[in-house]
Every structure is written in C-alpha cells, then in structure tokens.
Amino acid sequence: MSAVAAVAADPSVRSPLPVLGRDVAVPLVTGGEVTYAALDQAASAPALQRVWDDVAAYAPYYGSVHRGAGYLSQLSTDLFENVRRTVAEFLDCRADDQLVFTRSTTDSLNLLAAALPDGCEVFVFETEHHAALLPWQRAGRVTFLDAPDSPAQAVETLERALAARDPHGPALVCVTGASNVTGELWPVRELAAAAHAHGARIVLDAAQLAPHRAVSVRALDVDWVAFSGHKLYAPFGSGVLAGRADWLRDAEPYLAGGGASRTVTRRADGGVDVRWHETAARHEAGSPNVIGAYAIASACKALTEAGFDALAAREEALVRAVREGLADVPEVRFLSLFGDDAPRVGVLSFVVDGWNSSHFAAALSAEYGIGVRDGLFCAHPLVRRLLGGDTGGTGECGAPEAGALNAIRVSVGVGTPEEHVARFVRAVRELVRDGARWSYRTVDGRCVPDTSGRP
C-alpha cells in the first residue's frame, strides 16, 4: 500500500477540526470544477469552523473596549481581558508576563524592536523570515549569523557570537521555532539556555510553531514569544507579543493615542504632559481589535482540546505521505537545512528539475485546483542558500532554467483532507512525467494560464 493510500485508509489521520472553505469549488482551465485543495497554510490558514461560529455568535454584542459605560461596551471589555488570559494560558506564560495584542507577528517583532533598551545588540540567524530578520536594524547593532547545518551547530554558532560580545550591555537573540521554508524545528530551549548563559534575552518567532506544536514560554525558557492569528486558524487581523514586562514598560508606547495614555494635561507653557499606562495597554493605542483577539482565543481553546500530540501525529503522517509519494521521482528535490529526517511541522519546500517553479505552481492551480506557494517565501537569504546560488533573475514563465529561480512550498494544517495530499502527489507525478496540458505566460511577474486560445 502506498503512503498516500495508507493515510487515506487510516481513520486516525482524518481531520479532527473542520475549517471554512473545505467545500469551495474552483474552475479548472482544462474544463470543469474541483474542490479547492488549500496547501499553502504556512502563508495563511483558513478559519476553524469553531472560530467562525464563536465570532459570529459574539458579533451582535460587539462594543467599544475600555471606552463605554453601556452594557455591550462592558461585555466587550470583559471579553477582551478574558481572552488575554486565555491566550496567556495557551502560551504557558509566567505570572508577571505581559501579553500585548498586535496586528501580526511582523507587528509584534517591530514593537519589541522599538522597545529595545539603548545599546542593545541583536543576534539573528540569516535563516529567519523577514519579519524576524529586518526589524532590528532600526533599533541598534545587529549580528547576522550564518545558517547552521544542524541544531547543534546552531547552538554552537550562537554561543561563539555571544561570547565575543560586550558582556555588560543588553542583548537579544531572535529565533524561529519552525522554519517557514523547510518546516524544520529549531532547538529553542537550547538556544535560550545559551542566550541566558551569556546575559542575553531571547524572543521566539512562533508564527509557524504555534499552529502545530504546544508552545510553553516557561518550558522553553524564552523571554518573549510572537505569533499571528492568521496562521493559527483565526484570520481576523490580530497577533500576539507575550513575555517580560520590563522592556515593554520602560519603552515609549509603540503608538501614541487613546488607550495607551492614563492622563493628558496641559502645561502652563501651552504644551501637554502625558502619563502612559504601564500595562499591556501602553502598546495597544486605539480601539482594540476585540474580534481578532477573541478569534485567537477561540483557536487556542480548539487546538488545546484537540490535543497537540494527536494533531502532530496526523500532520507527520501527511508529510510522510508527500515525501514517500514522491521519493521515486528524481526530478523533485526537497530543501532542508538539517537533513531529510529532521523533525518538522507540516511545511515542505522543493524544486523540480527542468521547471520554473512559478510555472509548476501555476499548473498545479490551473489544472488541478491545488494552491501552493512559489517564490522565496519572505526568507530570501535562506532560500538562496538552499538553492545554492543567486536567485535574482526573473526568467520567463515555462522556460526551464539552469538553476531554479525560486522554490515551491506545500504546507498542511489541521483541516487538510487526505484527498488533497493524494491529489497533490498525483499532480506532481503527472506534471513531471507528462508536462503541463496548457500553455502559460508571464503577466505582471506572475505565471498565468494563456487564455487567448487552446494550448
């Protein structure tokens, strides 16, 4: 029995948490329709049905948070603060940690970058998503660490860099929990121990980790954690930064405005004096996105109740079905830092010999109704390293390249049906063997079906 067939036959691999969009039909360029296979969940995951139901049930009771005496305002304020506690419990935060609702992981890490104390040096691996790679340059000195070949080398690289720094100044390490390119799990606990041994703090980018594995701030011993609702099956515009309160409390508010301020008074000289909140509200100026925060809390509860061990086992079976289903296709090469057998979440990136990756992804969509991601995945240095060279060229759609311009990423989640994985494996094998059945052209930098006539 093939790996794909085995997954389809195993009831334990059935989706335990239904998601929205599971019955959406999309047209095929070759004619007819097919149920859409959403295999780009590392970019943005569909809402859990439960999250949607919870949001819909609350929506009629929506009111302004911390800004009204009316019943709905009071209800919404209580809800907002209760969901803050729910998310803190999901992350296993320390009692004195602060949890700030933001717009996304990118927003969270930029907030922390703005809160760095003077003279802080930041250490970050070149393998990070741009959300974790780029914010620090505005705030202070940054040391970019080379990509490691193994988890052990990651720890050794960090230890060497930290040992060479000024031991008296503040320092921060930023690291992902799971790569958005390869899905590989990073040695977060060991990196946190190395950081603390050298007097540095550490922030965990859990955007790809939190939807797939339990995240414990205390067990991992990280100082902060950031993640996005839209990757956690709660795509309603909210994110989270949770962790140590002191740097956040001592920093200027991320945004100045109502909600962040306690009092504002006029001075005799005509100016104003402001007293800012010292709680999470300090960095939550403006009307909070209570629906987005509530959606995150709903997803946290659903994932916790489903059990991360069971979810991870199912996900591993789906990943195994992809790898084993394509193992005898020599043209397909999966990308990895730590090796093919490294533990990973449900994210795989690959290239196909003789294919422009954008062309291949376009054919998967147009001819099979499968949505994947192609490109450099907002992690340009890492993908360039994995591809073995420069990927700066543009290349025309459908033109085989001597070196791959970019890669293809397939990613699964809690709501991914086995049939979608089986269809993906079949589609890749057919495209490699027979080629595309339609012609494609480049429009505005994207590869699209040529609808000017039949292929």
Task: Name residue, tokens 């991601």.
Answer: 373
Q: Inform me whether the pLDDT recorded for 263 exceeds 50.
A: yes
pLDDT at 8: 46
pLDDT at 3: 52
pLDDT digits (tens, 9 = 90+) for 6-32: 544 454 445 679 999 999 999 999 999
Is the backbone of residue 334 left (phi > 0), alpha (psi -120 to 50) or beta? beta
Strand partners, 226: 205, 241
Cβ atoms of 263 and 288 within 8 Å: the answer is no
Tell me the average pLDDT across 191-199. Answer: 97
Tell me the average pLDDT across 115-142. Answer: 94
Rounded to an integer, what distance in angstroms lies between the CA atom of residue 201 and that of residue 432?
47
pLDDT at 401: 46
Q: Inform me whether the pLDDT recorded for 115 exceeds 50.
A: yes
Tell me the average pLDDT across 94-100. Answer: 98
What are the two backbone dihedrals, phi and then psi, of residue 102, each rounded to the nearest 5 degrees? -125, -165
pLDDT at 252: 95
- Detail the DSSP E strand segments found in 239-372: 239-243, 261-266, 272-276, 332-334, 347-352, 370-371
Rounded to an integer, what distance in angstroms lies between the CA atom of residue 121 and that of residue 134?
14
Tell me the average pLDDT across 219-243. Answer: 98
Q: Inform me whether the pLDDT recorded for 374 exceeds 60.
A: yes
Q: Inform me whether the pLDDT recorded for 1 exceeds 50.
A: no
Q: Would you call 378 a catalytic residue per the annotation? A: yes
Q: Which amino acid is it at 340? A: D
DSSP-derived secondary structure for 105-137: HHHHHHHHHHTPPTT-EEEEETTS-HHHHSGGG
Percent of the chain residues past pLDDT 70, beyond the cut: 93
- Global pTM value: 0.93
Rg (CA), the chain: 23
Rounded to an integer, what distance in angstroms lies between the CA atom of residue 154 and that of residue 113?
23
Taking the mean position of all CA atoms in its chain, how far away is CA 82? 25
Which positions ≥6 away from 56 have C-beta within 8 Å?
none
Taking the mean position of all CA atoms in its chain, how far away is CA 93? 20
Rounded to an integer, what distance in angstroms lies between the CA atom of residue 359 and that of residue 396?
9
pLDDT at 11: 47
Q: Which candidate in 93, 120, 300, 378 is catalytic?
A: 378
Cβ atoms of 207 and 227 within 8 Å: the answer is yes
Tell me the average pLDDT across 308-334. Answer: 97
Tell me the average pLDDT across 344-360. Answer: 96
pLDDT digits (tens, 9 = 90+) for 399-419: 444 445 789 999 999 999 999
pLDDT at 455: 55
Q: Inform me whether the pLDDT recorded for 454 exceeds 80.
A: no
